[in-house]
Amino acid sequence: MKVWKLVSGILSIILFVIVTFQSCAAGLSNALEANGEVSGTAGVMVAVLMLAGGIVSIASRKAKGKGGNIALIVLFGLAALVGFANYGSYSDLAVWSGWCLINAVLAVVAILTGKKNNKDEE
């Protein structure tokens, strides 16, 4: 899981830049069309949560406790929830929300397998 946390953290930080630019373009499009959608704003929120999740993922990759994984579940889970609930005309937001959901699920797996490994050590 250490390697996965490093890779997903780096990818999340890189994807932050892409999602931010796309979200700004989607927000501008929503404002110009005056269609009442908030997918651009939701995209910026997903991007910020993705950046925070990437940083936490890299910082907590060698931690032995559950705190880092719980933080990843909250950050990536919230990003997935916001993205899936508000993607509207910005359909790429569903893809980025899917990435966040995958990271949240893998953090749950890391917690579950961490318990098993701790029992084996006793």
- What does pLDDT average to in each consecutive run of 10 residues of the chain (122 residues)? 90 94 89 85 93 94 88 95 88 92 93 67 46
Q: Which parts of the chain fold into alpha helices (H)? A: 2-33, 39-59, 67-86, 92-121
Query: For position 116, what pLDDT does the model report?
Result: 58
Nearest Cα to 40, choosing from 18, 22, 13, 52?
22
Neighbouring residues of 42: CB distance < 8 A, sequence distance ≥ 6: 23, 82, 83, 85, 86, 87, 90, 93
What pLDDT, on the 0 to 100 scale, is given for residue 122? 46
For residue 22 the two structure tokens come to 């796309």
Task: Choose among 16, 99, 3, 94: nearest CA to 55.
Answer: 16
Dihedral sign for Cα atoms in the order 112, 116, 121, 122: positive
pLDDT of residue 74: 96
pLDDT at residue 121, as a whole number: 46
Give me the residue spans of the domains in the chain: 2-116
